Amino acid sequence: MVTIRGRAKINLTLDVLGLRDDGYHEIATVMQSLALADTLTLTREESGIALTVDMPGLETDERNLAWRAAALVIEHCGIRGGVRIDIVKRIPVAAGLAGGSADAAAVLRGMNELYALRLSDAELCALGAQIGSDIPFSLMGGTVFATGRGENMKPLADFPKIHVVLAKPPVDVSTPWAYRAYDAHPPEQRPDNSAFLEALAAGDMTACMRLVGNVLEPVTERAHPIVGDYRSRMYAHGAACAMMSGSGPTVFGLFTEQESAAYTAEEFRRETGAAVYLTQTAGRYGV
Ligand code: ATP
């Protein structure tokens, strides 16, 4: 039996560079993993894939990315045997936090261990990229600059440990919808990835906080103005910076002081009734 965690991520920057011939968007993004994680337990079975999730409404068949990751490893490695996967879900769903990718990445690493497959990180990332663009990052964790569909990764110096308040407005945003809305009205203002990367390399956190930016934020905010409201509230509570993650709708605030992050989380819950999570940035797996 193997127990493994799949961590959530936020995007500190996210730019869309264009639409590719294969229908995917070319992106450039700095991704950051969080301590907030789902827990997955994998147990050997004689055959087949059995999946349970403690969150009602979430698929437990081949539509679940965790299921697909297990099927891919079984097929790729010619495994004669099956697996039971039990997921304790803590990452909010359809929130811009890559919860599904986190689970798929955890299953890839978990299967590698459970069946002693000795797949390298590069092999795991190649398998993960077949299922979803964020999965290679979810396998690696830490702070990464990703391009292409998100699968070309350049590991960066770890972003310093900082407290993160996540607030999910009561709406679900699907990633394909956000990209379609982006194509219809691409925003003019874009994040400056080069400046952010320079500031990070120089350890200039004040500049990093100023340079966070997400080109999808105005896109989702146009349909869901509550995103802007949540961002303003984060700033009003003293966040060093606040922004929507991925295609949203979750808004994160970064706080240098644990106390003020905890106070903000509490107040946010009281003021809005939102689903609020208090967590921290996390470094690379296994480092
Ligand atoms: P991303 O930021 O990668 O676009 P997200 O955080 O917006 O993802 P997810 O939480 O990964 O979104 O879920 C998107 C959809 O994927 C869900 O609505 C659900 O139907 C499906 N899904 C498949 N497998 C999972 C899983 N293991 N956990 C959560 N959602 C899953």
From 93, 135, 138, 166, the mutation candidate for ligand 1 (largest count of ligand atoms within 8 A of CB) is: 93
223 is in an annotated binding site: no
Q: DSSP label at 134?
A: T
Q: Is 168 a catalytic residue?
A: no
Residues with CB under 6 A from ligand 1: 58-59, 63-66, 93-101, 103, 134, 175, 246-247
Active site residue 154: no
What is the bridge-based pairing of β-strands 2-19 and 241-244? unpaired
Tell me the per-residue pLDDT of 209-236, one tens digit each, with 9 for 90 and over: 999 999 999 999 999 999 999 999 999 9
129 is in an annotated binding site: no
Tell me whether the omega of the peptide bond preceding residue 249 falls within 30 degrees of 0, making it cis.
yes
Looking at ligand 1, which residue's alpha carbon is closest to its atom 14? 94
Q: Could you tell me how many helices (H) and strands (E) the chain has, helices first?
A: 10, 11
Q: What atom in ligand 1 is closest to the CA of residue 63? A: 23
93 C-alpha to ligand 1 centroid (Å): 5
CA distance 183 to 259: 41
Query: What are 23-77's pLDDT values in tens digits?
Result: 889 999 999 999 999 999 999 999 999 999 999 999 999 999 999 999 999 999 9
The interface predicted TM-score of the complex, written ipTM, equals 0.94
Residue 246 contacts by C-beta under 8 Å, 6 or more apart in sequence? 9, 10, 11, 14, 96, 97, 98, 175, 214, 216
Q: Are 95 and 64 in contact (CB under 8 A)?
A: no
Tell me how far CA of residue 151 lies from CA of 106, 200, 215, in angstroms.
Answer: 17, 21, 19
Instruction: For residue 38, give every residue at least 6 positions away whose Cβ sits within 8 Å of its Cβ, in sequence order, or none.
Output: 5, 6, 87, 88, 89, 90, 91, 99, 102, 103, 106
Rounded to two decimals, what is the model's pTM?
A: 0.95
**Angle, alpha carbons 55-36-86 (nearest 5°):** 40
Q: In tens digits, what is the pLDDT along the chain, a chain of 287 residues?
A: 999 999 999 999 999 999 888 888 999 999 999 999 999 999 999 999 999 999 999 999 999 999 999 999 999 999 999 999 999 999 999 899 999 999 999 999 999 999 999 999 999 999 999 999 899 999 999 999 999 998 899 999 888 899 999 999 999 899 999 999 999 999 999 999 999 999 999 999 999 999 999 999 999 999 999 999 999 999 999 999 999 999 999 999 999 999 999 999 999 999 998 899 999 999 988 65
Note the pLDDT of residue 287.
57
Q: Please tell me which residue in 15, 103, 134, 168 is annotated as part of the active site.
A: 134
